[in-house]
Amino acid sequence: MGNRMFVKICGITRPADAIAVIDAGADAIGLNFVPTSLRYIDLDVARTILSVVPDHFMTVGVFRDQSAEEVLEITSALGLDAAQLHGDEPPAFTAAVADGVETVIKAVAAESPSIDALSDHAADIVMLDAPNPGGGVPFDWRVVGDLVSKHKILLAGGLRPDNIAEAIRQVKPWGVDVASGVEVRPAQKDPEAIARFVAEARSRQPTQS
């Protein structure tokens, strides 16, 4: 992908929203399997969504404090490309999931002490999220510091079409992730906002080859 900004739209709950994400030119969708989440979907809904997603498009299952067996069962049953782990999973858990899933994304709150232990995790990508995931409020981007030189950082937390350019300018992440920032109401995406978000993110590409 070179210097192309990776863009993931998370919390997809309807096939129409997945199509909007694909049409906008993003790279990945997130399907939320956390039962307490507003954007939770079951396997049947997930299959309906996945039926409109082309093979080359990255599909990510989102989990929080579920068993490794459940994570692997769901990702395998649906043929997902990646598992995103949002809980307090220890490194051994991440390693167990990594054995059965092509890509593991480990999510941590930006100012949490667990950032210091990131290198112990078998994570391909590190998501830096706000302390209240899905709350739509950005964290102080200055706290990221040199983490972007140590990990593939997927920046999340309160990103929107109108602040994504500044977020990328400040943080210089590998990729960006949005859920509530492109919704008309919880769990329902706005195709126009998705298109604007992707366009804004891609317009901030690094200029070096």
* Chain position carrying tokens 């459940």: 70
H/E element, 167: helix 164-171
What is the pLDDT, as a whole number, of residue 114? Answer: 79
Number of residues assigned to the chain: 209
Q: pLDDT digit string (tens) for 168-209?
A: 999 999 999 999 999 999 899 999 999 999 999 998 765 443
pLDDT at 4 over 90: no
What is the pLDDT, as a whole number, of residue 133? Answer: 67
What is the pLDDT, as a whole number, of residue 205? Answer: 63
Average pLDDT for residues 150-154, to the nearest whole number?
A: 94
- Note every long-range contact of 71-76, with CB atoms under 8 Å and residues 24 or more positions apart, other chains counting: 71/97, 71/101, 72/96, 72/97, 72/100, 72/101, 74/33, 74/43, 75/100, 75/101, 76/100
pLDDT at 13 over 60: yes
* Chain position carrying tokens 């590998």: 174
- The answer to whether residues 136 and 180 touch, using CB atoms and an 8 Å cutoff, is yes
**What CA–CA distance (Å, rounded) separates 159 from 130?**
10
**Is 10 assigned a catalytic role?**
yes
What is the pLDDT, as a whole number, of residue 208? Answer: 40
Confidence category of residue 3, pLDDT binned at 50, 70, 90: confident
pLDDT averaged over every residue in the chain? 92
Catalytic residue, chosen from 10, 17, 27, 177, is: 10
CATH number belonging to domain 6-202:
3.20.20.70
Average pLDDT for residues 23-33, to the nearest whole number?
A: 98
Q: pLDDT digit string (tens) for 111-148?
A: 888 788 888 998 999 999 988 766 778 999 998 989 99
**What CA–CA distance (Å, rounded) separates 75 from 168?**
30
Catalytic residue, chosen from 17, 27, 129, 177, is: 129
What is the pLDDT, as a whole number, of residue 170? Answer: 94
- β-pairing, 82-85 with 103-109? parallel
Q: What is the pTM of this model?
A: 0.94
Enter the tokens of residue 83: 């598992």
- The answer to whether residues 33 and 61 touch, using CB atoms and an 8 Å cutoff, is yes
Residues 84-102 as b/e (b if ≥16 CB within 10 A, e otherwise) read bbbeebeeebbbbbbeebe
pLDDT at 31 over 80: yes
**What CA–CA distance (Å, rounded) separates 181 from 199?**
14
**What CA–CA distance (Å, rounded) separates 209 from 203?**
15
User: What secondary structure letter does DSSP report for 30?
Assistant: E
- The answer to whether residues 38 and 7 touch, using CB atoms and an 8 Å cutoff, is no
DSSP 100-163: TSSEEEEEEETT-GGGGGGGGS--SEEEEE-SSTTS-----GGGGTTHHHHS-EEE-SS--TTT
Q: pLDDT digit string (tens) for 57-114?
A: 999 999 999 999 999 999 999 999 999 999 888 999 999 999 999 999 999 998 888 7
Q: pLDDT digit string (tens) for 166-178?
A: 999 999 999 999 9
pLDDT at 27 over 80: yes
